[in-house]
Amino acid sequence: MKLIVAIVHNEDAGALVDALTDKEYRVTRLQSQGGFLKQGNASVLVGLEDAQVDEVLATIKETCHARTQFINPTPPIMEPGEFYMPYPVEVEFGGATVFVLSVDRYERL
Protein backbone atom coordinates (compact mmCIF):
# COMPACT_ATOMS: atom_id res chain seq x y z
CA MET A 1 0.00 0.00 0.00
CA LYS A 2 1.19 3.55 -0.78
CA LEU A 3 0.26 7.10 0.11
CA ILE A 4 0.73 9.72 -2.59
CA VAL A 5 1.13 13.32 -1.45
CA ALA A 6 0.84 15.68 -4.42
CA ILE A 7 1.43 19.40 -3.89
CA VAL A 8 -0.33 21.17 -6.74
CA HIS A 9 -1.48 24.62 -7.80
CA ASN A 10 -4.85 25.61 -6.33
CA GLU A 11 -6.20 26.12 -9.86
CA ASP A 12 -5.43 22.48 -10.76
CA ALA A 13 -6.56 20.84 -7.53
CA GLY A 14 -10.27 20.70 -8.35
CA ALA A 15 -9.70 18.99 -11.71
CA LEU A 16 -7.27 16.52 -10.12
CA VAL A 17 -9.65 15.61 -7.29
CA ASP A 18 -12.54 15.21 -9.76
CA ALA A 19 -10.49 13.02 -12.12
CA LEU A 20 -9.36 10.79 -9.24
CA THR A 21 -12.80 10.44 -7.66
CA ASP A 22 -14.24 9.65 -11.13
CA LYS A 23 -11.77 6.74 -11.20
CA GLU A 24 -13.03 5.75 -7.71
CA TYR A 25 -9.91 6.68 -5.77
CA ARG A 26 -10.35 7.95 -2.22
CA VAL A 27 -8.86 11.43 -2.03
CA THR A 28 -8.29 14.16 0.57
CA ARG A 29 -7.52 17.75 -0.39
CA LEU A 30 -5.75 19.94 2.18
CA GLN A 31 -5.15 23.66 1.92
CA SER A 32 -1.41 24.31 2.21
CA GLN A 33 1.08 27.09 1.62
CA GLY A 34 4.44 27.03 -0.13
CA GLY A 35 7.41 28.05 1.98
CA PHE A 36 9.03 30.01 -0.84
CA LEU A 37 6.17 31.87 -2.51
CA LYS A 38 4.07 31.98 0.70
CA GLN A 39 1.02 31.45 -1.47
CA GLY A 40 -1.80 28.99 -1.05
CA ASN A 41 -1.48 25.67 -2.82
CA ALA A 42 -3.20 22.31 -2.36
CA SER A 43 -1.88 19.03 -1.00
CA VAL A 44 -3.79 16.06 -2.34
CA LEU A 45 -3.52 12.76 -0.42
CA VAL A 46 -4.37 9.45 -2.09
CA GLY A 47 -4.14 6.07 -0.35
CA LEU A 48 -3.86 3.30 -2.93
CA GLU A 49 -2.51 -0.09 -3.89
CA ASP A 50 1.03 -0.33 -5.31
CA ALA A 51 -0.31 -1.32 -8.74
CA GLN A 52 -2.36 1.90 -8.95
CA VAL A 53 0.54 4.32 -8.47
CA ASP A 54 1.31 4.71 -12.19
CA GLU A 55 -2.30 5.50 -13.08
CA VAL A 56 -2.50 8.18 -10.39
CA LEU A 57 0.82 9.70 -11.48
CA ALA A 58 -0.49 9.81 -15.07
CA THR A 59 -3.67 11.54 -13.86
CA ILE A 60 -1.60 14.13 -11.97
CA LYS A 61 0.44 14.77 -15.14
CA GLU A 62 -2.72 15.22 -17.23
CA THR A 63 -4.42 17.66 -14.85
CA CYS A 64 -1.58 19.71 -13.30
CA HIS A 65 0.35 22.19 -15.40
CA ALA A 66 3.52 24.19 -14.87
CA ARG A 67 3.02 27.93 -14.44
CA THR A 68 5.27 30.89 -14.04
CA GLN A 69 4.56 33.47 -11.37
CA PHE A 70 6.22 36.76 -10.54
CA ILE A 71 7.32 37.54 -6.99
CA ASN A 72 8.73 40.70 -5.49
CA PRO A 73 11.94 39.74 -3.65
CA THR A 74 12.48 41.06 -0.11
CA PRO A 75 14.70 44.17 -0.36
CA PRO A 76 18.19 43.87 1.20
CA ILE A 77 19.18 45.83 4.31
CA MET A 78 20.33 49.21 2.98
CA GLU A 79 23.04 51.60 4.14
CA PRO A 80 22.13 55.31 4.11
CA GLY A 81 22.52 56.69 0.60
CA GLU A 82 22.24 53.28 -1.10
CA PHE A 83 19.56 52.78 -3.69
CA TYR A 84 17.67 49.56 -4.44
CA MET A 85 15.39 49.19 -7.45
CA PRO A 86 12.95 46.31 -6.77
CA TYR A 87 11.86 44.31 -9.77
CA PRO A 88 9.72 41.15 -9.93
CA VAL A 89 11.42 37.78 -10.37
CA GLU A 90 9.89 34.99 -12.43
CA VAL A 91 9.46 31.66 -10.60
CA GLU A 92 8.13 28.40 -12.05
CA PHE A 93 5.60 26.36 -10.03
CA GLY A 94 4.87 22.67 -10.71
CA GLY A 95 2.97 21.00 -12.47
CA ALA A 96 3.15 18.98 -9.23
CA THR A 97 5.55 17.96 -6.49
CA VAL A 98 4.79 14.34 -5.70
CA PHE A 99 5.91 12.11 -2.84
CA VAL A 100 5.12 8.37 -2.93
CA LEU A 101 5.28 6.91 0.59
CA SER A 102 5.07 3.31 1.75
CA VAL A 103 2.22 2.69 4.19
CA ASP A 104 2.79 0.16 7.00
CA ARG A 105 -0.85 -0.16 7.90
CA TYR A 106 -4.21 1.18 6.68
CA GLU A 107 -7.45 0.83 8.65
CA ARG A 108 -10.97 2.12 8.06
CA LEU A 109 -12.59 1.81 11.47
Span 43-82, contacts to ligand 2BA by CB under 6 A: none
Decide: is 41 part of the binding site for ligand 2BA (CB under 6 A): yes
Q: Pick the binder of ligand 2BA from 37, 58, 101, 103 (CB under 6 A).
A: 37
Q: What's the rounded Cα separation, in Å, for the pair 56 and 67?
A: 21
The answer to whether the CB of 29 falls within 8 A of the CB of 63 is no
The CA–CA distances, whole Å, from 36 to 25, 81, 86, 93 equal 30, 30, 18, 10
Please, which residue, 23 or 33, has the CB nearer to ligand 2BA?
A: 33
Task: Work out how close the CB of 33 gets to ligand 2BA at its nearest, in angstroms, rounded to a whole number.
Answer: 7
Q: What's the rounded Cα separation, in Å, for the pair 23 and 13?
A: 15
Number of Cβ within 10 Å of residue 23's Cβ equals 12
Decide: is 103 part of the binding site for ligand 2BA (CB under 6 A): no
Q: Pick the binder of ligand 2BA from 4, 6, 7, 13 (CB under 6 A).
A: 7
Decide: is 94 part of the binding site for ligand 2BA (CB under 6 A): yes
Task: Work out how close the CB of 31 gets to ligand 2BA at its nearest, in angstroms, rounded to a whole number.
Answer: 12
